[in-house]
Structure 1
Amino acid sequence: MTPDDRRHMAHALGLGRRGMGQCWPNPAVGCVIVRDGRVVGRGWTQPGGRPHAETVALDMAGGAARGATAYVTLEPCAHHGQTPPCCAALVAAGIARVVAPIADSDPRVDGQGFDHLRKHGVEVTTGIGAEQALLDHAGFFMRVSQQRPWVTLKLAMTLDGRIATATGESKWITGPTARGAVHALRASHDAVMVGAGTARSDDPQLTVRGFGPHRQPVRVVVSRLIDVPLMSQLAQSAKDVPLWLCHGPEARSELRSAWEGVGARLIPCQITGGRIDPRAMLRSLGAEGLTRVFCEGGGQLAGSLLMHDLVDELHVFSAGMALGAEGYPGIGALGVARLDEAPRFQLVDVSPAGKDIHHVWRRSKNG
């Protein structure tokens, strides 16, 4: 391993992140091809998952790929799908060395890509950039291992943890810089999810705005009875931007038909304790191909996800105001009686967001 290896892998990882939210159910992979110290090709997984990063980079490199080193952020695929395996494409192009941080845990690959490369005389180096690659591909791996997507929960709250006044007023607790950061987070996820209460009270669009042409995330509304107004912005845009409704079996058939008529997709979900079971719901979303879901609330949905230990990352935007006990709490009831029962997270980052504070937390490794 050399400083150049680390530098080129960091470049490839940065490229791969450009595909986040754009290429599900495929992983967001980056690839950089280097020959004689010069980058001759680079690419990342394209919208919809194809072409793969290696294909894009090899096409750019052309004949310069022969004898070069390919830095790929995940083990090159080894299975025939809608495209030929990338490990075979790298061999055919004459790549002499492949540097990849981690193996692909997908059973269709799982070491077979590395084996194919070595069998055909390609040197394989692993481990460089592994920690970052594991984080970047966490949603893809989670869908493989746990059949559910990675869940990021966003909370925009006052200093005392409130998301609305007693009368329900909530726009805007945080400022424009924080709201811009939220759009960036939406853009890096496959889906944006809210509860029925938020859909009713805020009438949100849940789209990515301010980023130019963009593959919009799926809008997911969790509504046991599908009791969201059919005149909402979500309904009116359902034929243009994907809208999925996670509902229970008791949702009325006429409402189901009406929502399907405006272009929404219905996802039936299991009910536990009178509410949609969040673990079963996420498995249903994983079965549909989602790898990264960005939950924007409200309080009841946030509480349900936290209570069932289903939040992998928290983005909290704190505004310098207080609303008092009569305001709506950002997180619903958790049933915590003792401190050792509380969900715990580790602080990852703190940064200003205009006049607000943005802090990032990830699931605590110590439980």
Structure 2
Amino acid sequence: MQQTSTTDARWMARALELAAHGPEAGPNPRVGCVLVGPDGELVAEGWHRGAGTPHAEAAALLAAGAAAAGGTAYVTLEPCHHTGRTGPCSRALAEAGVARVVYAVPDPNASAAGGASWLGEQDVRTHSGVLQPEAEALNRTWLHRARTGLPWVTWKLATTLDGRGAAADGTSRWITGPEARADVHEQRARCGAILIGTGTALTDDPRLTARRPDGTLHERQPLRVVMGQRDLPDDARLFDDAAPTLHLRTRSPREVLTELSAREVHHVWLEGGPTVAAAFMADGLVDEIVAYVAPVLLGRGRPSVSDLGITTIADALRLEPTDISTIGHDIRITATLQENH
């Protein structure tokens, strides 16, 4: 196994910082590239700014010019080896005379992979796996879709301490406080799509937009998706011009995710009611749960999730917390399902 030097780790860490500037919800992965000369000094940097723009390697090579020759390229994802909207980065690196390519994560996309092997055939040395866990975390939803064919699903719920998602009369605004609601909008803005069922759409008439605390819209809006057979009124707020809306007339979670994957969505923010949530959970299609728990007691009312068919504690779905934060007066618990991860 190749050993990672302190120098390689240092430059890859910088490449990851650059990659984080890229659009998180775009169809492409976030990638950063650092070019270092034979003398060990920084030559140029670049990152991918979104679909249709130069890849990170191309951006760095353009800035470097002839100074890239004989140096090392540090890239957070294996250089692509296909021609899409832009040319293959593997070929661009070789033609620039780069002597060594260090990358963090092998490209799982079959149509783009193979760059490292081809570079080796051109006598360009390669080294993989440098800061791979950090690079995997940066692109976890994109990598999930590339590997499974389906988007990563985050189920968001707001619940009382006694597990109620709404009061007995059906009211649910507002279980959580303004700080938690603002946090939800920040999370929405980072996703490719927001998903609800027709029941929630008809009962709440939500806008499903990502808004700032002052009510203005975030620059980028996720796709609004409604699943279910029932018709929606033409004057529903979901059909305003604030963001695109898609009504998928199916009750199958897998059909919904397959359609969204075909549209290059890799992160779905699930805000459906207890029935939709239970359907996704039952099909094993929830990858992460973000629960906003309010210090509120209702005693009775609608549960946060419908029947999952669990009758004994031994069959309970166990979660692995990845973050617990206080948001205003509420607690936000982020967790993954142990059986999925």
TM range (shorter): 0.7 to 0.9
Tell me the TM-score normalized by structure 1.
Answer: 0.82
Structure 1 residue aligned with 2:273, among 298, 315, 329? 298
Correspondence for 2:239: 235
294 and 366 in structure 1: CA distance in 2 versus 1, 3 angstrom threshold = closer
Cα deviation per residue 1:252-285 (whole Å; 9 max; x = unaligned)?
xxxxxxxxxxxxxxxxxxxxxxxx1112221222
Q: Is 1:222–2:222 an aligned residue pair?
A: no
Bigger shift: residues 126-135 or 148-157: 126-135
Q: Secondary structure at the match of 1:151?
A: strand
Structure 2 residue aligned with 1:279, among 254, 262, 271? 254
Q: Distance in 2 between matches of 1:37 and 1:167?
A: 67
Q: Distance in 1 between matches of 2:300 and 2:161?
A: 12
Correspondence for 2:295: 320
Matches within 5 A, 1:242-281: 242-248=244-250, 276-281=251-256
Q: Is 1:101–2:104 an aligned residue pair?
A: yes
Correspondence for 1:158: 160
Correspondence for 1:334: 308
Bigger shift: residues 334-343 or 307-316: 334-343
Q: Return the letter of the residue paired with 1:139.
A: T
Q: Distance in 1 between matches of 2:85 and 2:71?
A: 26
Please say if residues 307 and 343 of structure 1, whose CA atoms lie closer than 8 Å, have aligned partners that are also in contact.
Answer: no
Q: Distance in 2 between matches of 1:214 and 1:40?
A: 33
Please say if residues 22 and 215 of structure 1, whose CA atoms lie closer than 8 Å, have aligned partners that are also in contact.
Answer: no
Q: Is 1:53–2:56 an aligned residue pair?
A: yes
Q: Return the letter of the residue paired with 2:101.
A: V
Q: Return the letter of the residue paired with 2:245.
A: L
Please say if residues 165 and 323 of structure 1, whose CA atoms lie closer than 8 Å, have aligned partners that are also in contact.
Answer: yes
87 and 212 in structure 1: CA distance in 2 versus 1, 3 angstrom threshold = farther
Structure 2 residue aligned with 1:70, among 58, 73, 88? 73
Tell me the TM-score normalized by structure 2.
Answer: 0.88
203 and 366 in structure 1: CA distance in 2 versus 1, 3 angstrom threshold = closer
Bigger shift: residues 314-323 or 210-219: 210-219
Q: Distance in 1 between matches of 2:186 and 2:112?
A: 31
Structure 2: gaps (5+ residues): none
Deviation at 1:38, TM superposition (A): 4.9
- How many residue pairs align between the two structures? 334
Correspondence for 1:258: none
Q: Return the letter of the residue paired with 1:331.
A: V
Bigger shift: residues 51-60 or 349-358: 51-60
Q: Distance in 2 between matches of 1:300 and 1:77?
A: 41
Q: Distance in 2 between matches of 1:161 and 1:95?
A: 57
49 and 134 in structure 1: CA distance in 2 versus 1, 3 angstrom threshold = farther
Structure 1: gaps (5+ residues): 249-275
Cα deviation per residue 1:318-349 (whole Å; 9 max; x = unaligned)?
111122222x2211221112334333321111
Q: Secondary structure at the match of 2:107?
A: coil
Correspondence for 1:352: 326
Please say if residues 211 and 218 of structure 2, whose CA atoms lie closer than 8 Å, have aligned partners that are also in contact.
Answer: no
Structure 1 residue aligned with 2:175, among 173, 176, 184? 173
Cα deviation per residue 1:160-183 (whole Å; 9 max; x = unaligned)?
222222223222222233223222
Cα deviation per residue 1:142-199 (whole Å; 9 max; x = unaligned)?
3334321111111122212222222232222222332232223222221111122222
Q: Distance in 2 between matches of 1:18 and 1:193?
A: 26
Please say if residues 220 and 244 of structure 1, whose CA atoms lie closer than 8 Å, have aligned partners that are also in contact.
Answer: yes
Structure 2 residue aligned with 1:91, among 90, 94, 102? 94
